Amino acid sequence: MNEMRPLRHSTGTLETLASLERKLLWLASWIIHYANNIRPNPAAEKVGGHQASCASVASIMTALYFDALRPQDRVAVKPHASPVLHAINYLLGRQTREKLEHFRQMGGAQAYPSRAMDGTEIDFSTGSVGLGVAITSFSALIQDYVQAHEMAKPGLPRARNVAVAGDAELDEGNIYEALLEGWKHDVRDVWWVVDCNRQSLDSVMPDRLFGRFEGLFRDMGWRVITLRYGRRLREVFAKPGGASLRGWLDECPNSVYSALTFQGGAAWREALLRDMSKSRGVRAIIDPLSDMELAGLMTNLGGHDMATLTDGFAQAALSDQPTLFLAYTIKGNGLPLAGHKDNHAGLMTPEQMDEFRSAMKIRPGHEWDRLEGLEQPHRVERFINETPYAQPLSPAGRRLEAPKVAVPDSLPGPRTAGRRMSTQAGFGEILSEIGRAQGESKALSQAIVTASPDVATSTNLTSWINRRSMFARQAQEDVFRKSKVASMVRKDMHPGGQHIELGIAEQSLFLLLGAAGLAHDLYGARLLPVGTVYDPFVNRGHDALYYACYQDARFLLISTPSGITLAAEGGQHQATNTPLLGIVQDKLATFEPAYCDELRILMRHAFEYMQRPDGSAVWLRLSNLALPQPARELNASHVIAGAHWIVPPAPGAELAIAYQGPMAAEAEKAFEIAREDVPGAGLLAITSPNRLYAGWRQAQRQRREGMKTKAHIEEILAPLARNAALVTVLDGHPAAHSWLGSVRGQKVMALGPDHFGQSGTVAELYREYEMDCDAILDACAEALAG
């Protein structure tokens, strides 16, 4: 933004905002200082904090929270600025002194903004660099979706999704995947405000990088507003010699600028006189200024100038075009750390903090007082209370509420008994029938939104998409259909569609699922997001999956096809570690059914469990191996708890064979042979090592608290002899089952691939990786002999 509009605010308002900026700088610095130097720390453990990073963004966040933001707007704040955000909420009466005093301590304000740990005032968690920026774009897409479907809370104005990002975060690749996806879907009402302090943890940012950002974002349809210089510098640039001074500053390398900022006014004067001694008019600008005044002028950047910031935000608010703000700042601005290349994790010394306290007019013993140090405290208090963002969004703070979607007792779907089919195909058919359903299933079908990273067809979403169409802000014709060219998938795209088509970027899928899984809190709309992805590529997006779960987003993940059962595809498509991911990932209930009757139970459970206050996201790992489907009655609660007996063992039996997922066929064959020698043996179906392990751990904790309880897995294994052998098999790493021996001290022989797969037939691979019937029988013989 080269030319600024006339000032929007009065001098008095700008002065009040400047007072708030200084107050936030003090509080953020004090929160970190108190945690590191004053709070008792008997173990002398590192606490840490980022005073310089807070200082660089204090002006930006003041202008946003106390001027530009409205109650409905949603904000992701860069991780290292969490003390500034905590300080803002403290001034707004939404954060307690006790929490601030325990910053980075058990029960206190978190090191990085956390929805789960910091409470209702945090819109997006931002501990994982870059992801908090990218999710705002997907949240804007979800806002478009819920509004197009008339699902948003009635009367709720459109939100602006805002990310306050560090410039180093723009190194993260997921940001550019999100940028491309946002362009495809024409997202609106997104602001990314980049704190361009030009310093990261280890280095100073390359000089020409910001120019590249401008071009890249403009190519993606964004408006770019560059806030490089403040009002005082722009006034100087208009004077004789000012153009030369601006040219010198424009070309000044970032490393040199940072060093001069740290060294101060004398160094600035020396550098300017050395480089510009022959430039007419420059001496007339700098000679009348003291060293302190000169340093203040040369560091008058747009990201620290309140008039420049507020005008920039006001200009952007005139339209819904996504906007990138490049706000030039100084890392450590206003602190003795300003500009030093090592200031990222640097802390002010107690002596420096005392000087800083005096400069901020804070009396000793009054460091936590909300209005301490302000010249007109009552005026500032009134200003805070009248700030648009300070107005309540809902009785529950910044979280909205949405009613639960009714889930029928049994999901609609085709008869599967007697058919030969895979769980992957079964998923597609069940979802298709939900899409067709009326009556009590209609509300469920309307709440579902699906997404996939360019694998919707191969993960069996085709029938659902054909029934429910693809989502787009503007209707788009299916060119193939119009031209009467046969195609499996109807590309009907319109605002009422219920499938969001994504490109090949698993990070984007999980960020979208995270945003959609928060729609009830953010927009008052209850969505039941379903995302499909190839099982091995969960690994590719795991960072964003972890991030979505950390925010307690609710969604159903379908990963399919899985394991070396995907025989001909080779090792890169044959994940073995995903069952282990399913066990260790918090806030994610993971299952792997073998048959479609189990799948139907688990899908119904998922849609209900996703909506429980104590629920979570759900992950179903499915297979493309077609198996004959049995006709039977199942105990749904056992399927959900993680295991059920296919053939219960005789009391005191010495052997049980347990299987997971598509290994059912091999295990069943082996079992029929094994029980000729061990007639009382049992055959166990494991549907979820994750739920079994979680239940066992919970029971252990409850027993330590004096409760008499047993876990499901303890009840399941109880009929077996204490010295019984368990032979388990799954198409995944065998460590997912090996812990079962610890439940009752029984011997476990766990089978499953623990090396990269390769191409071949299913029979060849099962034999090579010791998972077939013969391998199971060999394990039984070894276990019984031992």
Largest CA distance in the chain: 103
Note the pLDDT of residue 394: 83
- Comparing CA positions, the residue from 598, 638, 587 lying closest to residue 621 is 598
Place of tokens 């200003």: 383
Neighbours of 48 (CB within 10 A): 12
Q: Are 687 and 592 in contact (CB under 8 A)?
A: yes
pLDDT score at 141 = 98
Half-sphere exposure of 120 (CA within 13 A, CB side): 14
Which tokens belong to 89? 């909420």
Q: Is the pTM of this model over 0.85?
A: yes
DSSP assigned state of 205: P
Contact, 549 vs 616, CB < 8 A? yes
Instruction: Concatenate the DSSP letters of all residues of 91-149 into one string.
Output: HTT-S-HHHHHTTTSTTS--SS--HHHH-TT-SS---STTHHHHHHHHHHHHHHHHHHT
> Token match 């199942």: residue?
634
Q: Which residues pair with 500 in a beta bridge?
A: 451
Whether a cis peptide bond, with omega within 30° of 0, leads into 113 is: no
Six token digits for residue 447: 């709440």
Rg (CA), the chain: 30
DSSP-assigned beta bridge partners for residue 193: 164, 325
Q: What angle do CA 23, 29, 33 make, to 5 degrees?
A: 140
> Does residue 599 contact residue 593 with C-beta atoms inside 8 Å?
yes
Report the alpha-carbon distance of residue 305 to residue 282 in Å, rounded.
23
Q: 75 with 133: CB under 8 angstroms?
A: no
- CA–CA dist 654, 379 (Å, integer): 80
Q: Does residue 599 contact residue 430 with C-beta atoms inside 8 Å?
A: yes
Q: In terms of Cα–Cα distance, which of 104, 123, 105 is closest to 114? A: 123
CA distances from 354 to 26, 350, 360 (A): 12, 6, 10
CB atoms within 10 A of CB 383: 19
What are the beta bridge partners of residue 325?
193, 225
Listed as ranges, residues in the chain with pLDDT below 50 are 1-7, 201-202
The token pair at 459 is 């993960």
Distance of alpha carbon 602 from alpha carbon 592, whole angstroms? 9
Question: For the segment 127-143, what is each residue's pLDDT rounded down to a tens digit?
Answer: 888 999 999 999 999 99
Residues paired with residue 659 on neighbouring β-strands, in sequence order: 685, 729
**In this structure, are residues 278 and 253 in contact, taking their beta carbons and an 8 Å threshold?**
no
Give the per-residue pLDDT at 5. 42
Comparing CA positions, the residue from 735, 733, 737, 695 lying closest to residue 713 is 695
Tokens coding 238: 């208009």
410 φ/ψ angles, rounded to the nearest 5 degrees = -140, 135
Looking at residue 207, its pLDDT comes to 56
Tell me the per-residue pLDDT of 233-262, one tens digit each, with 9 for 90 and over.
999 999 999 999 999 999 888 888 888 999
Other C-beta atoms within 10 Å of 652: how many?
A: 12
Q: Other C-beta atoms within 10 Å of 539: how many?
A: 14
Half-sphere exposure of 348 (CA within 13 A, CB side): 30
Q: Would you say 685 and 630 are in contact if contact means Cβ atoms under 8 Å apart?
A: no
* Residue length of the chain: 786
